[in-house]
Structure 1
Amino acid sequence: MSATLIAVVVALVLGHMAPTLASSVRHFGWYRDWLRWLDSRFPEGSFWRGRWGLAIALVPPLLLVSLFQLALHDALFGLASLIFGVAVLFYAWGPRDLDLDVEAVANAPDPVARRAAAQRLWPEGGMPAVLDGGSLVEAVFRNAQHRWFGVLFWFLLLGPAGALLYRLVAQSAEGEASTALPGETNEGARYFFAILDWPVAQLMTLALALVGNFDTVLGAWRDAGGASFDVRRPFLGAVARASVTCELADEAADYADDNLGADAGEAGLAPPPIPAPVLTGEVPELRDAMSLVWRSLLVWLAVLALFVIAGWVA
């Protein structure tokens, strides 16, 4: 089995089974301090304060990780490289456990607690959390993209350096480190982040089409501009909403068939409401959103395993 697949599975399981360890390790204060130090050294009008000034901050840590990656490639029959890959991927994953954050929203005892829990699904310093089902679905998929799939995609493409690249750019665009960047540099970081996210969103949409209703996903993708090369088009949110709505409609139809019979719809009888015990918390969309996210991740891992079997991934 490929070292790449092993690293992905180990990092995923470790992050899910040891959230305390993950929260204690995944800190990027050093990167924020590094950005502040750079900002204090470059005057107005310098390259640092331009659209692509973030490159100055990214090159040193990424170069260091790349050198380690190359140096450990054949060490100890590849074991050292595997351990290093797991460590970097584990560090770049998250930084918080998505399952726990979503569960906190679903199980919140009152609207105030639910809003406070939902705020963890919105970028730091951004707009306040919105509690309607559609917005929460978009938030779940946005976090899945930024916490899981984006890191995974760039790790598969570029190795440990790719995973760290994605996480540092995410921190620069909307994380705690973004406050240390000048305005123009931060705008460039946001655009670079959108570039990194675009292929990830496309592949997540493809996975959703495979695990959900293909026609619904394809229609939502087209209507939201997914076929465009505009990297700032937020089509994944529209696709996620449509997928979850379709899932809930199918569940309601199945429940009606089980309780009224297959001929209930033909008789003009309205389907009964799904009872509360069937739902997760008071926001049923959250349950289906997380189910689709996990199924999409399994599709990614299955495709990776097929690539390994075919010998396309080392």
Structure 2
Amino acid sequence: MNFLALLLGLGVERLLTHFFHLREFRWLNSLFDRGFAKIATAKRSRALAGAAVLAIAVVLPVAVISILLQDRFLQIPYFVFAVLVLLLSLGPRDLAKEVNDYCTALENDEINQAARTGKELLEHEPPTDEPNRSDSVEKAIYIQANNRIFGVVLWFVLLGPTGAWLFRVLDLMRRRAAYQMVWVSEHGPELKTETAIETLYGVFAWLPSRLLMIGYALAGSFEGATMAWRDFYAHGAENFFDLSSDLLGSIGQGALRGAGSIDVHKDTAVQARAAMRLVWRTLWLIWCPILALLTLYDWLR
């Protein structure tokens, strides 16, 4: 049932682009801000526990409805509910459209528009020099594919609507905490909110990010991805969250470069579009068939 809801949700999503703004859930920001204020100066363990309680409070209504609909006489209402939750959990923005807008702006020499779109992909100001800007945006595409699409899809398959919504809530909390930290760094003392949120998000991002790394390697160059993996661990990472996101970006880049798909210093737009094509190959040619087979096995078991 979940896989059928997944296929319908992914298919219908492409027809509902005008409603994507509803997935930003800005009305949750005030709730997040109040929760963050309570854990901002707490010890690390209490901050982490507080972040978990905040996430559970937001996810609980979806979990309760999902449980109440777990009845063989309520399969159709559950199916509709699952599709609706999935549609609201993906994104919030359309990654493919954002990449295309970024490339179009570059090709038309619209520097300010390209910078704004690059900031949305990176979640911070993009570098101004090349090739650092192109490399950063390319890696961000691989990372955002997990944040916006695959992480939601995997947890939907594993835990149904509750899993998809949980991953989205944690991502919304992560983005809000990162936004707050930019303000705090300029106006106040360093707080522990972002660290707690990133740790909690990193726990749930770990599995989909690892599976997506494997997908990038299979859809691109396995040798290039392996070399990127070794090189990354030779330099290490600062924390758990960076380990998942930065490694994902590095392996995606290695898989693309090793496949010889692009001249890495030829064209920034070509580089970004090639990265997006690798993402689609990974999602539709690698993991979608695998998830379908696993679902079929579960039905026949």
- What TM-score does the superposition give when structure 1 sets the normalisation length? 0.79
| Corresponding residue number in structure 2 for 1:289 | 275
Q: Which moved more, 1:220-229 or 1:160-169?
A: 220-229
Task: Tell me by how many angstroms 1:75 deviates.
Answer: 5.5
Alpha-carbon spacing, 1:14–1:69, altered in 2? closer, same or farther (3 Å): same
Task: Tell me by how many angstroms 1:22 deviates.
Answer: 2.3
* CA distance, structure 2, for counterparts of residue 215 and residue 44 of structure 1: 45
Task: Tell me by how many angstroms 1:92 deviates.
Answer: 0.9
| 1:32-67 deviation digits (Å, cap 9, x = unpaired) | 122234457789659997233112212223222111
How does 1:1-314 map onto structure 2 within 5 Å?
3-23=1-21, 25-38=22-35, 50-74=47-71, 76-108=73-105, 109-110=108-109, 111-123=111-123, 126-128=124-126, 132-175=133-176, 179=180, 183-225=191-233, 230=240, 232-233=242-243, 234-247=246-259, 249-250=260-261, 283-298=269-284, 299-311=286-298
- Residue 96 of structure 1: SS of its match in structure 2? coil
Task: Tell me by how many angstroms 1:115 deviates.
Answer: 1.6
Runs (5+) with no aligned partner, structure 2? 185-189
Number of equivalences = 282
Q: Is the 8 A contact 1:173 1:190 kept in 2?
A: yes
* CA distance, structure 1, for counterparts of residue 116 and residue 36 of structure 2: 33
Q: Is the 8 A contact 1:48 1:185 kept in 2?
A: no
| 1:177-200 deviation digits (Å, cap 9, x = unpaired) | 863999223320011112222211
Runs (5+) with no aligned partner, structure 1? 253-272, 275-280
* CA distance, structure 2, for counterparts of residue 42 and residue 291 of structure 1: 41
Q: Is the 8 A contact 1:212 1:243 kept in 2?
A: yes
Task: Tell me by how many angstroms 1:285 deviates.
Answer: 0.9
Q: Which moved more, 1:157-166 or 1:33-42?
A: 33-42
| 1:265-304 deviation digits (Å, cap 9, x = unpaired) | xxxxxxxx99xxxxxx852111211111001111111101
User: What amino acid maps onto 1:224 in structure 2?
Assistant: F
User: What amino acid maps onto 2:291 in structure 1?
Assistant: L
Q: RMSD of aligned C-alpha atoms?
A: 3.2
Q: Is the 8 A contact 1:118 1:129 kept in 2?
A: no
* CA distance, structure 2, for counterparts of residue 85 and residue 218 of structure 1: 37
Alpha-carbon spacing, 1:210–1:312, altered in 2? closer, same or farther (3 Å): farther
User: What amino acid maps onto 1:122 in structure 2?
Assistant: L
* CA distance, structure 2, for counterparts of residue 250 and residue 43 of structure 1: 45
Alpha-carbon spacing, 1:224–1:282, altered in 2? closer, same or farther (3 Å): closer
* CA distance, structure 2, for counterparts of residue 212 and residue 305 of structure 1: 21
* CA distance, structure 1, for counterparts of residue 79 and residue 140 of structure 2: 32
* CA distance, structure 1, for counterparts of residue 269 and residue 149 of structure 2: 23
User: What amino acid maps onto 1:164 in structure 2?
Assistant: W
User: What amino acid maps onto 2:283 in structure 1?
Assistant: L
Q: Is the 8 A contact 2:48 2:196 kept in 1?
A: yes
Q: Which moved more, 1:62-71 or 1:39-48?
A: 39-48
- What TM-score does the superposition give when structure 2 sets the normalisation length? 0.82
- Residue 14 of structure 2: SS of its match in structure 1? helix
* CA distance, structure 2, for counterparts of residue 212 and residue 42 of structure 1: 42
| Corresponding residue number in structure 2 for 1:270 | none
Task: Tell me by how many angstroms 1:113 deviates.
Answer: 2.6
Higher helix share: 2
* CA distance, structure 2, for counterparts of residue 302 and residue 184 of structure 1: 41
| 1:109-137 deviation digits (Å, cap 9, x = unpaired) | 113332222222122xx344556322121
Task: Tell me by how many angstroms 1:29 deviates.
Answer: 2.4
Q: Is the 8 A contact 1:174 1:190 kept in 2?
A: no
**Bigger Cα Rg:** 1
- Residue 94 of structure 1: SS of its match in structure 2? coil
User: What amino acid maps onto 1:303 in structure 2?
Assistant: I
